[in-house]
Every structure is written in structure tokens, then in C-alpha cells.
């Protein structure tokens, strides 16, 4: 019924790393919670440092564990965070800094280090553990150890490039680290849906239209909301169904 079309993916590694399954953000939007959330990041490289910087700017209490002294000095000069020189995969280092941590993130470029760090965080009973996985073949090992919130830069890059080739009319805003959920933005250009009410559309079971943007304003769609040409639809749903429906809306 729906014809294949194309997608461009804007999901950044940092945004995915801090995204939670079912679209709930790492940082709740209440100011009080922003002041008290404590995050420990192991690895002060490109991803870890950028993540720490972004979270710090959001008011999160951030700690970074990094082995290299020169990198530690650069991080301390640039980021409003507590920087600890040490091995994030060692008990001695973590037991000094992991108390009262809400979220633990292993973000080094070495999977064995991230795996060990996550296992230690689990022993220290951290509520939420997120890990970077550099080699896609290692994801299964992490999952078998009980770690489900994983980010693989290789998978993300491949997904983005594939979507840019196959679905240029659709923007993939987010896909979760766990499960098959997606959020996409697509332009409404299919003649078969323009002028129709939302209630008249054949929307797949596991897909919803969450919002419409028109004339620089957001419209929360209801059953009697009519789709106009040029609307930008924010669609939420499961992989497979959401791509088909987004492609259908964008079909020329």
C-alpha cells in the first residue's frame, strides 16, 4: 500500500547516548531535578567530553573519569565538571567517585574497558547504566551481560548514510537504544491525504501522528484535524510501520 521513499537521519551520537527507551529523556524537565541529577562518564574522548559539556550546560552534576593526564587538564579547563584522573574500569577508582550516581555512562573507545566499567557500575548498584559499543559484533555480549542501553557509532553512521540515500524526504529524529521505537518528521505532500481529516487516514496500529507544524506553529492533531499541503508531521511508532507511513505521507 505504501511506496518506498527516503530518510535523512539527524540523530547525533550524544543525543542518542542520553536518550532512554520509550522516548523518555535522560534529564527530566523539572529545574529541581536538573540541579540534582548526577552523571558519571568514563572516558574523556570526543564523545565523552562532548556529552559532559552538553549535560553540564543543562545543569547536570557531571563527573568524568579519564586515564590520560593531559586530556584531564584540557577537560578541566573547558568543562564545568569534576574531572578525575584514573582507570574507569578499576574498583579503586570507581569506589571513590560512584557514590550517589544516578546514571553511569561508559564512553571510551575500547569495548573491553566499557564492558568492565559497566559490570563494576552494576556491582555498585547504579540504577541506570549506558554504554558505547564500538564494534557492532560486541553488542550481543553486552546484552547477554544484562546491559540494554547501548549506542554503537558504527550502526548509527550506517543507518544515517542508508537513510540519506533511501529516504531523503524524511528526517529520522530519534531511534531508541532499546526496542524498535522511532520518531520521524515528514513533509505532507501525498495528494491522497491532503484535505483529509486525521480520523480518515489509514494509520498503522503502532503509529501515531504526535504533532503538525504549519505556518511556524505547532498543531496538536485530533481526529477532525485536516492535513494541509506542506504540513510537517511528527510521527511516532515502531520500526517498519513508521517508515512505511512516513513515506506514504511524503509521496509526491
Query: According to the per-residue pLDDT averaged within each range, which of 6-20, 31-45, 117-131, 149-163 is highest?
Result: 117-131
d(Cα 228, Cα 193) in Å, to the nearest integer? 8
**Pairing mode, strands 7-9 and 170-175:** parallel
Q: What is the DSSP string of 58-89?
A: TT-EEEEEES-HHHHHHHHHHSSSEEEES-TT
CATH number listed for the domain at residues 13-151: 3.40.50.720
Directed axis angle between helix 69-78 and helix 46-57, to 10°?
Answer: 20
Predicted confidence (pLDDT) per residue in 61-94, tens digit? 999 999 999 999 999 999 999 999 999 999 999 9
Contact 58, 50 (CB under 8 A): no
Secondary structure of residue 5 in the 3-state scheme: coil
Give per-residue pLDDT as tens, 139-177: 999 999 999 999 998 887 887 777 677 766 666 655 554
Q: Could you name the CATH architecture of 7-11+156-250? A: 2-Layer Sandwich (3.30)
Q: Where are the domains of the chain?
A: 7-11+156-250, 13-151
Amino acid at each position: 500500500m505504501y511506496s518506498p521513499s527516503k530518510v535523512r537521519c539527524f540523530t547525533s551520537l550524544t543525543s542518542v547516548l542520553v536518550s532512554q527507551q520509550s522516548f523518555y529523556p535522560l534529564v527530566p524537565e523539572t529545574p529541581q531535578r536538573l540541579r540534582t541529577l548526577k552523571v558519571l562518564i568514563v572516558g574523556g574522548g570526543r564523545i565523552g567530553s562532548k556529552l559532559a559539556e552538553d549535560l553540564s550546560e543543562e545543569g547536570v552534576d557531571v563527573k568524568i573519569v579519564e586515564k590520560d593526564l593531559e586530556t584531564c587538564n584540557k577537560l578541566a579547563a573547558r568543562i564545568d565538571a569534576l574531572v578525575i584522573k584514573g582507570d574507569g574500569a578499576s574498583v579503586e577508582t570507581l569506589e571513590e567517585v560512584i557514590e550517589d550516581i544516578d546514571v553511569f555512562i561508559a564512553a571510551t573507545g575500547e569495548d573491553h574497558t566499557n564492558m568492565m566499567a559497566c559490570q563494576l557500575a552494576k556491582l555498585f548498584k547504579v540504577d541506570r547504566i549506558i554504554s558505547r559499543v564500538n564494534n557492532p559484533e560486541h553488542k550481543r555480549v553486552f546484552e547477554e551481560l544484562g546491559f540494554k542501553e547501548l549506542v554503537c557509532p558504527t550502526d548509527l553512521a550506517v543507518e544515517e548514510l542508508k537513510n540519506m540515500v533511501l529516504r531523503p524526504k524524511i528526517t529520522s529524529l530519534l531511534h531508541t537504544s532499546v526496542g524498535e521505537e522511532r520518531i520521524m518528521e515528514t513533509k505532507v505532500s501525498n495528494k491522497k491525504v491532503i484535505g483529509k481529516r486525521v480520523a480518515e487516514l489509514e494509520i498503522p496500529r503502532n503509529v501515531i501522528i504526535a504533532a503538525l507544524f504549519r505556518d511556524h506553529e505547532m498543531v496538536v492533531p485530533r481526529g477532525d484535524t485536516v492535513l494541509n499541503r506542506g504540513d510537517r508531521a511528527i510521527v511516532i511508532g515502531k520500526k517498519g510501520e513508521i517508515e512505511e507511513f512516513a513515506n506514504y505521507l511524503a509521496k509526491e
